[in-house]
Structure 1
Amino acid sequence: MANPAAPVRHLVLSRPQTTVDTLRGEIVRKGLHLLIALVPMLASFNLSATVALLATGTLFYVFAEKMRITGRTVFIVSDLTVLASRERDRGHFVIGPVTLGLGAMLALLLYPSTAAAIAVYALAFGDGLASLAGKMFHTPRIPGTRGKTVAGSLACFAAVLLSCLRLTGSPWKALLLALAATALEMIPVRDFDNLLLPVGTGFLATQLLGR
């Protein structure tokens, strides 16, 4: 028997979003986004288990999202997806959580622990706070970035700078990493910035730190 709530969820995902809806969705989306900051701590206890956890979570989300777009639901996951989805995701598979999980996994698999932590924090705090600041503060948009704002880029820079200062202990290395992460975050690749940002930032961190 078909789930009567399923059409409602499709309608919710398909309706135009108001400013309040957009901000609320952004807060939920980036709140979930910020949870990825727990990854370096978990990896410090057991790297393999952390990668396995990320892979399992990503695969489960793919299953849940395929269920949702065919009119069925998975408890909590489908509701959160609808609540956190952007207007551009209407009627489509919401890929952001997939690239988020993959981005964190790539950081752990490609780079040494400190560089991997920098990469994941850039993804969690840099990208996460950039989107929130961009929605909350009405500042000029940056040309050529498909809507990125000055406030968002400043938030990204500050978040990455602070996290890198703590991890590197070097102001100039932290500054370079923050500038690089901010530049990468401004590239208009939509949800694929979840891959570009940690991979690019982690690569530079590895070159600067050598570990």
Structure 2
Amino acid sequence: MSRIAEGTSKLSKSQKEASPNSPKSRLHHLNIRFQSPADELRIELTRKSLHLLILFCIPLLDISPMLPVFALIAGMLLYSISEILRHRGFDVPIISSITERAARRRDSNHFVWGPITLALGALFSLLIFDPLQAKVAILALGLGDSFSSLIGKSFGRIPMPLSGGKSVEGSVLCFAIVLLAVYLLTGRFMASMIIALATTFAEFWPTKDWDNILIPLAAGIVASFIL
């Protein structure tokens, strides 16, 4: 009887640890089965708030060309280690909880690539383009993608075909915000308009997290020809 009781106790303990409501299991598996529109908006706000942090590369670039490069590489390494540990069942303070709050349904049970592609987009911009063009690319990445997504989720009513669910409202704001930001940086209206068009075109396609690389490269390449 004591062995049966002991076995039952171990089984109960195992089930409790494996419960999807336990923090460790929740962080490890990110088993996201349903998200309401309110959940999706909250997640998008969290994601795009983090997205905007990439703009800190611009003042760092003014201090030293290599400073944002080292910061991005260090950030990618730290995040990758935390994701590997999370998949092995370890809770990394702060980073794992932020990952959980920003995870979308498609991230369920997967390595969350968004922060990596975001850092790579900025890193490629810094390594490929000159400082002004790199700043333009990072502005397009940090502002255009962030605000278009938030407005599209919140107020988007007119869907755009072939875009994977993106809206006209989000794309219009992407164009407007990049136009304004690049114009304030360069003082060149026509060049800013062309760069904003290129950014909006790159943001339009349903490339998932890989738009974090496509958008700054598109903006930077166009900027390299006209600035």
TM-score normalised to the size of structure 1? 0.94
Contact 2:160 2:166 in 1 (8 A): yes
Return the offset for 1:114.
0.8
Return the offset for 1:112.
0.8
Decide which of 167, 177, 180 is 2:195's aligned counterpart.
Answer: 177
Q: Secondary structure at the match of 1:97?
A: helix
Q: Structure 2 regions of 5+ residues with no counterpart?
A: 1-16
CA distance in 1, matches of 2:37, 2:159: 17
Match of 1:205 in 2: 223
Match of 1:118 in 2: 136
Which is worse superposed, 147-156 or 28-37?
A: 147-156
Match of 1:36 in 2: 54
Decide which of 136, 146, 151 is 1:128's aligned counterpart.
Answer: 146
Return the offset for 1:11.
6.2
Q: State how 1:75-154 maps to structure 2 within 5 Å.
A: 75-154=93-172
Match of 2:14 in 1: none
How many residues get paired?
A: 208
TM-score normalised to the size of structure 2? 0.88
Match of 1:53 in 2: 71
Match of 2:43 in 1: 25
Match of 1:158 in 2: 176
Contact 2:28 2:90 in 1 (8 A): no
Q: Secondary structure at the match of 2:226?
A: helix
Match of 2:84 in 1: 66
Match of 2:12 in 1: none
**Residues 13 and 33 of structure 1: CA distance in aligned 2, closer, same or farther (over 3 Å):** farther
Contact 1:13 1:82 in 2 (8 A): no
| Pairwise CA RMSD | 1.5
Runs of 4+ in 1 over 6 A off after TM superposition: none
Match of 1:8 in 2: 26
Q: Secondary structure at the match of 1:47?
A: coil
Q: Report Cα offsets for 1:127-160 as digits up to 9, x if no partner.
A: 0111111111031110001111111101111110
Q: Report Cα offsets for 1:44-69 as digits up to 9, x if no partner.
A: 10121210110010111111111112
Query: With CA pairs under 8 Å and 6+ residues apart, which has the higher RCO, 1 or 2?
Result: 1
Identity of aligned residues (%): 40
